[in-house]
Amino acid sequence: KKITILPGDGIGKEVTACGKKVLEQIAECFGHEFVFDYAVIGHDAIESTGDPLPEETLTKLKNTDAILFGAVGHPKYDNDPTLKVRPEQGLLKMRKELGLYANLRPIKLFDELLEASSIKPEILRGADILFFRELTGDVYFGERGRKNNNETAYDTMIYSKFEVERIAHKAFKAAQTRKNKVTSVDKANVLESSRLWRAVVQEVAKEYPDVTVEHMFVDAAAMKLIQNPRSFDVVLTGNLFGDILTDEASQIAGSMGMLASASVGDKVGLYEPIHGSAHDITGKGIANPLASILSAALLLDISFGLKEESETVIKAVEKTLQEGYRTKDIADSSTALEKILGTEVMG
């Protein structure tokens, strides 16, 4: 099996190094052979090739069995909105070119981290949400530009029926293996693309009579996620709303540093933490590698069907937390100083 490591920018490099080590260890323990290669993307790729997703990277990704990705982004571009070539273009193009239309973001709290969240433990306990964020449509990929002498800028929020259908089926099927509930999030009281979204989800829902479907406006969902996270099971939503809500939901898991995601669709699967490149802590050796390690666990499970191997990784994370080890982002006032580890040691 071929695994391509795509470290990207910022802490992406530090955390994927740990994810890779875990995959190597699994290969050794279980007698698999994983062949690794590397490719560049993002700011990193712009610096070395001028292109945030060089042809060479794309070719590699199209010919691999699974991808372990870090993050992209750089403050240089954030501070200068006029730059034309940007790291995120590499990420978006990759998602589109590889047909990665479904981004699965499981939000599950490790019991040991109940106290690390800003939300009250009694609200959190037992929360377990699986987000299906659509990843190759919406305002991320619609036409955009300037008009009116550069005085006006626009982006197009756009969805077609087939795009909603295919991810809706995935979400309903997943709900059948969980608590049989799908909450579809849109803004159908204002947006035409949301009205299409809602109508399609209503249609697809008819094929899953055992699954309860609920439609919620995005503003209400942003509130309810915090107020009552346990009321959600599977959440199905578009690209932009999914971006916002899953970052928010990271607070349910105590820290962004714990959350893994899987992007699947046509063929190859891509696995990445939901956190970003975090340049403020890059190079300090304090980034939490657990999201990347848990992304590796998702990779083993979803792309390779290696359930036991995947479970082994998750249990190892659990055990480490039970033994009291923390990175800085998930430490609390009760954590002993010598149990606060850097990226590499935690890895």
Ligand X SMILES: CC(C)[C@H](C(=O)O)[C@@H](O)C(=O)O
Contacts of 60 (CB under 8 A, 6+ apart): 4, 37, 39
CB 237 → ligand X: shortest distance, Å?
13
Nearest CB to its own copies, comparing residues 188 and 341: 188
Name the β-bridge partners of 251: none
221 binds ligand X (CB under 6 A): no
CB 211 → its own copies: shortest distance, Å?
17
106 binds its own copies (CB under 8 A): no
Residue in the structure block whose two tokens are 């937390």: 321
73 binds its own copies (CB under 8 A): yes
- How far apart, in whole angstroms, are the C-alpha atoms of residue 317 and residue 227? 28
- How far apart, in whole angstroms, are the C-alpha atoms of residue 143 and residue 266? 23
Of positions 78, 111, 308, 318, contacts its own copies by CB under 8 A: 78
88 binds ligand X (CB under 6 A): yes
Q: Which does 4 bind (CB under 5 to 8 A by kind): ligand X, its own copies, none?
A: none
**Which two tokens mark 16?**
């994927």
Is residue 178 annotated as involved in ligand binding?
Answer: no
78 noted as active-site residue: no
Q: Which does 5 bind (CB under 5 to 8 A by kind): its own copies, ligand X, none?
A: none
Residue of 1, 108, 247, 328 with catalytic role: 247
Residue type, 67: I
Nearest CB to its own copies, comparing residues 13 and 43: 43
DSSP, collapsed to helix, strand or coil, labels residue 121 as helix
- How far apart, in whole angstroms, are the C-alpha atoms of residue 68 and residue 263? 11
272-292 burial, b for 16+ CB within 10 Å, e for fewer? bbbbbbbbebbeeebbbbbbb
Nearest CB to its own copies, comparing residues 123 and 281: 123
E-assigned strand segments in 221-282? 234-237, 260-264, 269-273
Is residue 326 annotated as involved in ligand binding?
Answer: no
Residues 53-72 that bind ligand X (CB under 6 A): 72
Is residue 133 annotated as involved in ligand binding?
Answer: yes
78 binds ligand X (CB under 6 A): no
Is residue 105 annotated as involved in ligand binding?
Answer: yes
- 328, with CB counted inside 10 A (0-12, 13-18, 19+), is middle
**Which two tokens mark 241?**
């709303």
161 binds its own copies (CB under 8 A): yes
- How far apart, in whole angstroms, are the C-alpha atoms of residue 214 and residue 211? 10
Residues 185-214 that bind its own copies (CB under 8 A): 187-199, 202
Nearest CB to ligand X, comparing residues 165 and 248: 248
- 46, with CB counted inside 10 A (0-12, 13-18, 19+), is buried
The angle at the Cα of 61, spanning 46 to 317, to the nearest 5 degrees, equals 95
Of positions 85, 223, 336, 345, contacts its own copies by CB under 8 A: 223
**Which two tokens mark 166?**
């295919």
CB distance 309 to 300 below 8 Å: yes
**Which two tokens mark 308?**
């036991």
CB 247 → its own copies: shortest distance, Å?
4
Residues 155-214 that bind ligand X (CB under 6 A): 189-190
Radius of gyration of the chain (CA): 20
Binding site members: 95, 105, 133, 219, 243, 247
Binding site members for substrate: 95, 105, 133, 219
The residues that touch its own copies, with contacts defined as CB under 8 A, are 73, 77-79, 81-82, 86, 88, 92, 118-120, 123, 139-140, 142, 144-146, 148, 151-162, 187-199, 202, 215, 218-220, 222-223, 225-228, 240-241, 243-248, 250-251, 256, 276
Active site residues: 140, 187, 219, 243, 247
The residues that touch ligand X, with contacts defined as CB under 6 A, are 72-73, 88, 91, 189-190, 219, 243, 276
Binding site members for Mg(2+): 219, 243, 247
